A and B are shown apart, each in its own frame.
Chain A
């Protein structure tokens, strides 16, 4: 054992330590993505894109064969849902007209929601089970920056860009432990922080914490981004409350959120590069 360690072990471990120190320093002193990471990902992105395209095509064919009957049933359900939503839409249009008239009467600024986005394909899901990230095929060449929000075509929040290189970026999903964002319960206006939790991540869920003692969250409540501070757009759908819990200390409450976006099935997403929201 001693001979083994003196022969090779110390040498190899020293090399690993030296490399680890270099990687840590490069990572620490890089304000954005470091050069080495950028090179590795820039080179591998075209290959990962090709792999993703093939895997997607095969998956699509397999799904079509196995889920044909289920899809037919789902279409019928959706047709009913659309009919209900069309009725709600007519009512919402009338409400919106009324809202505009009242805003003019009160001399308020017009509500505005303008998102500038970039379409992106998911080229890889995280290979480990310990993080929840997605690799996207757009990067700084497309104007994507660290801190940008990622949403689905329906406007549901997927996560945040945490790393970006020239032709690639990494989106940390909202269930990942690194994720944290101001949120508000749509029904009550109670403000909290939506954040990833390792225990909940295993179930594909996240936590709405730091709720006020007087907050009244209920199961099924819609939770959206608060937009406080202006870093992220407001009113983006995060998910729905599945359970209301009390912290271990018994003093504060928190809610378990089920994300609105189907994170496992995402193939295309949209990176919000810039936004203007006037409430």
Chain B
């Protein structure tokens, strides 16, 4: 694929991601359901990884992780950098070997990403907080999951519009 198409594709991906992160800031941060607010970032990682495979997907996750570490409170230095990249790798592996790209594949990838991010968080918490942490992670995942109906079409559109077969 020519370089300019690759640049164009990732600029569009970046804009779509920015738009979705704005939805988080403008709307989701202000809406509490079941005691939690929806958290989109692992879903963005999961869906992009399911479309872009085992190199581009994790690299996207790496960049998003670095930005999250620098721009938002993080439980440990480079927490999001590491967990998002690992999650994207696992999601891409699953997408390449178990599913063909589509809604089901994105759903499975997203689930893996939330699972790995939650495991990372639980490891940093003391054992006495594991039960509460696991319950919180489950609620966060279930509250965010319906938003896949918004995130998935956005990235599918970006993928279709920017992928050229050679």
Contact = CB atoms under 8 A, between A and B. Distances in A.
Interface of A: 1, 4, 7-9, 11-13, 15-17, 19-21, 23-24, 27-28, 36-37, 40-41, 44, 48, 51, 54-55, 59, 124-131, 133, 163, 170, 172, 198-199, 202
A198 B129 contact: yes
A156 to B, nearest CB: 21
16 contacts: A12-B85, A21-B78, A23-B66, A23-B77, A23-B81, A40-B67, A127-B29, A128-B72, A129-B140, A130-B75, A130-B133, A198-B126, A198-B132, A199-B128, A199-B132, A202-B136
Residue among A1, A12, A13, A126 having the largest count of chain B Cβ atoms under 10 Å:
A12
A245 to B, nearest CB: 14
A20 B77 contact: yes
A16 B129 contact: no
B37 interface: yes
Interface residues of B, number: 47
A198 B25 contact: no
Contacts of B140: 129
B89 A19 contact: no
Nearest to B143: A129
A20 B83 CA distance: 10
Contacts of B72: 126-128
A133 B71 CA distance: 13
A24 B41 CA distance: 21
A interface SS class: helix
Interface of B: 22, 24-30, 35-37, 39, 41, 54-55, 58-59, 62, 65-67, 69-73, 75, 77-78, 81-82, 85-86, 89, 93, 96-97, 121, 125-126, 128-129, 132-133, 136, 139-140
B78 A23 contact: yes
B71 A44 contact: yes
A55 B27 CA distance: 7
Nearest to A22: B78
Contact of B62 (A16, A28, A37): A16
